[in-house]
A and B are shown apart, each in its own frame.
Chain A
């Protein structure tokens, strides 16, 4: 009897060992994600993860990648670089993820990308916009790719919009002014405008700043009124953004164009606070539900989660599709092979077996290039943002012109 049991158990063990290689093909492909899921930044993480889950579900329903299902392994960096590093190591060495996505704070992304490069795990960031992640100091981080536009591309697109707007408004923008926070976001806007204004031939007539959470902005608005630029570029947090537009109204000053670099201006509370007074304010967006390529996916997404898809969800959704396409091209999940496949990828218009690119551009290709005289590495050089404008209390995409049917509301009515 004992011998029987021993024999049987040996047989069972043998079977397990033998069945492992057979099962390996069926094993899911694991995507590691590192975002803040707890702490002050958790709400942002939630939108990102929805975009990822949505793509994974879609791909798995269509039969997965090379016959294998996708599986998401979530890590939580809680906004802390040290925790980000620790989570990256856990996901790579304990959970054996094949590819990595993250993070939503560029500084944490930088650390996680270093860890991924060290272990040879390909990583794509959907939303980290800090310019320096792809600068010459990070040339050696060759497992790291960036889908989203860089901070300076955001601003460049704002200027591009001002230039293109003449086509619809019939008036050319010549003078611009900056209205922004003294904090990091404002400094970044000023730096980038300085970088590109000459290229577009704009005359910067005033730079007006204030300290976050201002209680009074009348002096600043007065300064803008005196400079009377053709367009105002701004970046503020929600409280200051609201006060700014209210003060414009109170001082009876209606600039013809106001273009914001998202943040407070695209906060859901912005239109709620101002109602009709917000009409005419424009802002950068990475995605908007009325984008021609985004309408269909937004309906499905809304049916699933009850909210509109936002920029973060749309970009994260796209990264999952990039991984799928690259792994299929590589025919393996080997880190170096997938890395090479991502580098060689050229998505034009739509993903093989998937949708059209849902973002406001129609090509994805990671390349080394020059940006304002400095080399950059492995960024998606075709990425750009869209400009949306508040019209009838809703954000409507107005630029790039190919991606929308809505016309620019000009001059901004602010009522």
Chain B
């Protein structure tokens, strides 16, 4: 076996080891961190990052800036909650029901809208969110403005209901991981290539045989379904939902982690969420009692600073930074590009050189 193959294998092993260690840290956090408040922040990070990944499939990968993700999330929460409270259904089945309903609604509503491009799509998504909210406020079946509460009671996995944060922590972590793997899979699939081509140039994509409408609908539906899953998780965790869940500001909140982390990368929302949500919580806990609203001001300044100085997000900066070079070469022992090429050539050649 050549030196090259060994080097590549060693590198891959190091990467797997690093990721495994990272995962282990997250798995072990509840063992060492007992404060429910800190665990609560992690749960927030998990579900907001997942929501942001859903947005990123549409906004980052396909280039369709949606500002209606809070509505998908809210609708998913409502669909599953109402099935639980009115029909007494099992929450886990209701989650699937919520995802299907929201996927259908998003598909049916946005199918005719994809004649629209650029900012017009964004405007429709805003209108969609507000229309859904108004619909619920005015519908007795949906509980009008006073919202829907899920029953409290004894801890139960069947009912996805716990007094402790720990089960929510692990379910949230599993949700982030699953959705991340799904997004990674989509990115590397035929669909991912099609979406990125559409993002760069829709006409060119159509010219080489990609059906833009079909792929955009697929992206909207998958994105909306993931948002609906987050809605279910949110409702089970907070145990109360109201139409304010769908306000415009919430949709913007789902965009921020992706933009700050780097919308061009599947990992962007994860990095952004891990930074922005604890930051926002910290600022509120530390400053809001001294001067109300100052926390939001500081948060806005932090956000502006990222957008001004690192417009491609934190990952966009990292990918071209010396830090990455150091991490790759010294810590992970990544071999030079030529080595990878040599190994690849060798594989295709079918035999050792």
The residues of A with any CB-CB pair to B shorter than 8 Å are 37-38, 42, 45, 73-76, 79-83, 85-87, 89-90, 93-94, 107, 110-111, 114, 118, 130, 137, 140, 183-184, 187
Is B213 an interface residue when CB atoms closer than 8 A count as contact?
A: no
**Interface contact A74-B144, CB-CB below 8 Å:** no
- The distance in angstroms between the C-alpha atoms of A76 and B285, with both chains bound, is 9
**Interface contact B288-A86, CB-CB below 8 Å:** no
- The distance in angstroms between the C-alpha atoms of A37 and B149, with both chains bound, is 25
Residues from chain B with Cβ under 8 Å of A82 in the complex:
44, 234, 238
Is B20 an interface residue when CB atoms closer than 8 A count as contact?
A: no
Residues from chain A with Cβ under 8 Å of B285 in the complex:
90, 94
Residues from chain B with Cβ under 8 Å of A79 in the complex:
244
Residues from chain B with Cβ under 8 Å of A87 in the complex:
284
Among B145, B152, B281, the residue within 8 A (CB) of A140 is: B152
Q: A81-B238, A107-B242, A111-B238 are in contact. Are A89 and B292 (CB under 8 A)?
A: no
**Interface contact A118-B37, CB-CB below 8 Å:** no
**Interface contact B44-A89, CB-CB below 8 Å:** no
- The distance in angstroms between the C-alpha atoms of A114 and B153, with both chains bound, is 11
**Interface contact B292-A76, CB-CB below 8 Å:** yes
- The distance in angstroms between the C-alpha atoms of A42 and B291, with both chains bound, is 12
Is B36 an interface residue when CB atoms closer than 8 A count as contact?
A: yes
Among B40, B289, B296, the residue within 8 A (CB) of A89 is: B40
Residues from chain A with Cβ under 8 Å of B240 in the complex:
81, 107, 110-111
**Interface contact B239-A114, CB-CB below 8 Å:** yes
- The distance in angstroms between the C-alpha atoms of A45 and B293, with both chains bound, is 12
- The distance in angstroms between the C-alpha atoms of A42 and B234, with both chains bound, is 25
Q: Can you list 14 residue pairs at the A/B interface with Cβ under 8 Å? A: A37-B293, A38-B296, A74-B288, A76-B284, A76-B289, A76-B292, A76-B295, A82-B238, A86-B44, A90-B37, A107-B146, A110-B149, A110-B240, A111-B239
Q: Which of B115-140 contact A (CB under 8 A)?
A: 137
- The distance in angstroms between the C-alpha atoms of A17 and B176, with both chains bound, is 44
Residues from chain B with Cβ under 8 Å of A83 in the complex:
284
Is B336 an interface residue when CB atoms closer than 8 A count as contact?
A: no
Q: A74-B288, A81-B238, A93-B37 are in contact. Are A114 and B293 (CB under 8 A)?
A: no
**Interface contact B146-A184, CB-CB below 8 Å:** yes
Is B35 an interface residue when CB atoms closer than 8 A count as contact?
A: yes
B78 to chain A, nearest CB (A): 14
B252 to chain A, nearest CB (A): 13
Q: Which of B240-255 contact A (CB under 8 A)?
A: 240-242, 244
Q: Say whether chain B's binding surface is mostly helix, strand, loop, or mixed.
A: helix
Residues from chain A with Cβ under 8 Å of B40 in the complex:
85-86, 89
A393 to chain B, nearest CB (A): 33
Is B311 an interface residue when CB atoms closer than 8 A count as contact?
A: no
- The distance in angstroms between the C-alpha atoms of A183 and B285, with both chains bound, is 35
Residues from chain B with Cβ under 8 Å of A107 in the complex:
146-147, 240, 242
Residues from chain A with Cβ under 8 Å of B284 in the complex:
76, 83, 87
**Interface contact A94-B234, CB-CB below 8 Å:** no
Among B41, B151, B242, B281, the residue within 8 A (CB) of A81 is: B242
B122 to chain A, nearest CB (A): 24
**Interface contact B152-A93, CB-CB below 8 Å:** no
Please give me the residue from chain A that is nearest to B44 by CB atom: A86
- The distance in angstroms between the C-alpha atoms of A187 and B147, with both chains bound, is 15
Residues from chain A with Cβ under 8 Å of B35 in the complex:
93-94
- The distance in angstroms between the C-alpha atoms of A347 and B99, with both chains bound, is 53
- The distance in angstroms between the C-alpha atoms of A320 and B214, with both chains bound, is 61
Given A80-B244, A94-B285, A137-B149, 16 other A-B residues pairs in contact with their CB atoms under 8 A: A37-B289, A38-B295, A76-B288, A79-B244, A82-B44, A83-B284, A87-B284, A89-B36, A89-B40, A93-B35, A107-B146, A107-B147, A114-B239, A130-B146, A183-B145, A184-B145
Residues from chain B with Cβ under 8 Å of A75 in the complex:
288-289
Q: A90-B37, A107-B242, A184-B146 are in contact. Are A114 and B152 (CB under 8 A)?
A: yes
A interface footprint on B10-45 (CB within 8 Å = 1, 0 otherwise): 000000000000000000000000011100110010
A144 to chain B, nearest CB (A): 12
- The distance in angstroms between the C-alpha atoms of A134 and B292, with both chains bound, is 31
- The distance in angstroms between the C-alpha atoms of A349 and B163, with both chains bound, is 40
**Interface contact A184-B296, CB-CB below 8 Å:** no
- The distance in angstroms between the C-alpha atoms of A114 and B239, with both chains bound, is 10
Residues from chain B with Cβ under 8 Å of A81 in the complex:
238, 240-242, 244
**Interface contact A86-B281, CB-CB below 8 Å:** yes
Residues from chain B with Cβ under 8 Å of A140 in the complex:
152
**Interface contact A85-B37, CB-CB below 8 Å:** no
Residues from chain B with Cβ under 8 Å of A42 in the complex:
292-293
- The distance in angstroms between the C-alpha atoms of A100 and B285, with both chains bound, is 16
A194 to chain B, nearest CB (A): 15
**Interface contact A93-B36, CB-CB below 8 Å:** yes
- The distance in angstroms between the C-alpha atoms of A28 and B238, with both chains bound, is 31
Please give me the residue from chain A that is nearest to B293 by CB atom: A38
Residues from chain B with Cβ under 8 Å of A37 in the complex:
288-289, 292-293
Residues from chain A with Cβ under 8 Å of B295 in the complex:
38, 76
A289 to chain B, nearest CB (A): 26
- The distance in angstroms between the C-alpha atoms of A322 and B190, with both chains bound, is 66
- The distance in angstroms between the C-alpha atoms of A89 and B40, with both chains bound, is 8
Residue with the greatest number of chain A CB neighbours at <10 A, chosen from B146, B244, B281: B146
Residues from chain A with Cβ under 8 Å of B296 in the complex:
38
- The distance in angstroms between the C-alpha atoms of A110 and B281, with both chains bound, is 22
B320 to chain A, nearest CB (A): 36
- The distance in angstroms between the C-alpha atoms of A313 and B99, with both chains bound, is 45
A286 to chain B, nearest CB (A): 21
Residues from chain A with Cβ under 8 Å of B163 in the complex:
118
- The distance in angstroms between the C-alpha atoms of A81 and B152, with both chains bound, is 16
Please give me the residue from chain B that is nearest to A132 by CB atom: B146
Q: Which of B285-301 contact A (CB under 8 A)?
A: 285, 288-289, 292-293, 295-296
Residues from chain B with Cβ under 8 Å of A94 in the complex:
35, 37, 285
Please give me the residue from chain B that is nearest to A86 by CB atom: B40
- The distance in angstroms between the C-alpha atoms of A140 and B40, with both chains bound, is 24
B189 to chain A, nearest CB (A): 34
Q: Which 6 A-B pairs have the closest CB atoms?
A: A37-B292, A74-B289, A38-B293, A76-B288, A184-B145, A90-B37
A interface footprint on B135-177 (CB within 8 Å = 1, 0 otherwise): 0010000001111010110000000000100000000000000
A225 to chain B, nearest CB (A): 29
- The distance in angstroms between the C-alpha atoms of A83 and B240, with both chains bound, is 12
- The distance in angstroms between the C-alpha atoms of A85 and B235, with both chains bound, is 12
- The distance in angstroms between the C-alpha atoms of A86 and B37, with both chains bound, is 7
Residues from chain A with Cβ under 8 Å of B151 in the complex:
137
Residues from chain B with Cβ under 8 Å of A118 in the complex:
163
- The distance in angstroms between the C-alpha atoms of A107 and B284, with both chains bound, is 21
Please give me the residue from chain B that is nearest to A94 by CB atom: B37
Please give me the residue from chain A that is nearest to B34 by CB atom: A93
A131 to chain B, nearest CB (A): 10
- The distance in angstroms between the C-alpha atoms of A266 and B147, with both chains bound, is 27
Residues from chain A with Cβ under 8 Å of B152 in the complex:
114, 140
B321 to chain A, nearest CB (A): 33
